[in-house]
Amino acid sequence: MYPREQYLNKIISKKDNGRIKIITGLRRSGKSVLLFQLYRDWLISEGVQEDHIIALALDVLENAKYRNPIELDKYVRERMTEDGKKYYILIDEIQFVSEIQNPYVDNPDAKITFIDVVLGFMQMKNADVYVTGSNSKMLSSDILTQFRDRGDEIRVYPLSFAEFYNEYEDDKRGAWQDYYTYGGMPLATALEKHEEKSRYLKDLFDRTYIKDVLERHEIKNDAEVLSILLDILASGIGSLTNPTKLSNTFKSERQIAIGSETIEKYIGYFEESFLIKKAVRYDVKGRKYIGTPAKYYYTDLGLRNARLGFRQLEETHIMENVLYNDLIRRGMNVDVGVVEYNTKDPDGKKVRKQLEVDFVVNKGEKRFYVQSALSIADPEKKEQEIASLKRIPDSFSKIVVVRDYLKPWQDENGIVYLGIEQFLLDENIFK
């Protein structure tokens, strides 16, 4: 079992703060283990009695009854038998609770949802409430608003490389290759053979993620379109695209007519489910965002690779995706950087060109520019990689991350170079 200290410490810090702790993230990324085992064990170690921890997983069939909000409310309250004694309420996959008509009033528009239930628990002075969920639209924005700023969100990601590396039992030199191939879904890392890992990751897509999207949004006829779209996005990680371009790809390569508006909607569903994340472009010199095109990254590389049958294991784009995920996990705001500059074409005419910075990383008042490069051994290749960084007219830190292990060093331009494993294992880089 992975200790998940980053997330466990966040939950512990919010214990008994009078707010709802909302633990979100991709399904099967470890939220349940975090809450039901790691945090529960910690509570018990701190002297909390086991019968004062009320834990309920709503994604299992035996608890289907409690997907009715009234039954859920009844279940919890019946177990809070001691007045004045603190109870810790842990509810897993809260989005499974259905919205029902209020049976006590005649108004057909009067509904009861899990929001009513959880808000009711909050009114009880002896209750400390924790819920998990796998849908960002439901849990990150709408609910936090309806909770009137009385909820704290804790986002959980698949295993970071550092978490994976610390528990890696084989020769550590193989950790990077295993990680970028199979990703950080906890159960996948516990499987030994490629066939087992591959089958598990593929089944997650078909039986969990795609099924969830189809059922949640009542999509009847576009299961194949959703699957193809996930494949196209998986194949194009690290590449700029937009819904119009994707619509044209469907038409030219798959002979499927699907509008850009529909594609944009479906991409939104994937983002809500934490499968992918969108990185928008930022004009570094102009200090403004560029609406389109954008890049999409998979939350877990093992899932991405499974979509493609492990046929596209090109480290260039995979490294970039891993870096993006790790920056997000560290709490950074991450954009794709654009640096514009003036030059002349072969005929001597002035032209304006663009160079890309892989990531513009912001945390508070601090900013960092991060470039992902497979290798800088060739001087010409090195100059190509740092060309955008050299044209940024500010003094914020600039970092080039390469695949190979190397002793960190800084060049005459103030650019720092270090290996991918060093970067991912050092939590103090941005301090």
Residues in the chain: 431
Give the pLDDT of residue 345: 85
Report the DSSP pairing between strands 366-373 and 397-402. Answer: parallel
Q: To which residue do tokens 């009078």 refer?
A: 18
The pLDDT tens digits for 130-176 are: 999 887 655 545 555 666 678 888 999 999 999 999 999 989 989 99
The pLDDT tens digits for 290-349 are: 988 999 999 999 999 999 999 999 999 999 999 999 999 999 999 999 999 988 888 888
Q: Does pLDDT of 95 surpass 90?
A: no
Phi, psi of 250, deg, nearest 5: -60, -40
Report the DSSP pairing between strands 409-410 and 415-419. Answer: antiparallel
The pLDDT tens digits for 275-285 are: 999 999 999 99
Give the pLDDT of residue 291: 83
Average pLDDT over residues 52-62: 96
The pLDDT tens digits for 26-48 are: 999 999 999 999 999 999 999 99
Query: Whose CA is closest to 1, among 130, 155, 159, 198?
Result: 159
HEC readout, 74-137: HHHHHHCCCCCCCEEEEEECHHHCCCEECCCCCCCCCEECHHHHHHHHHCCCCEEEEEEECCHH
Q: Does pLDDT of 240 surpass 60?
A: yes
Residue 232, token pair as written in the block = 């196209």
pTM of full prediction above 0.95:
no
The alpha carbon of 307 is separated from its chain's Cα centroid by a whole number of angstroms, namely: 17
Q: Where are the alpha helices (DSSP H) in 273-339?
A: 301-307, 315-329
Give the pLDDT of residue 346: 84
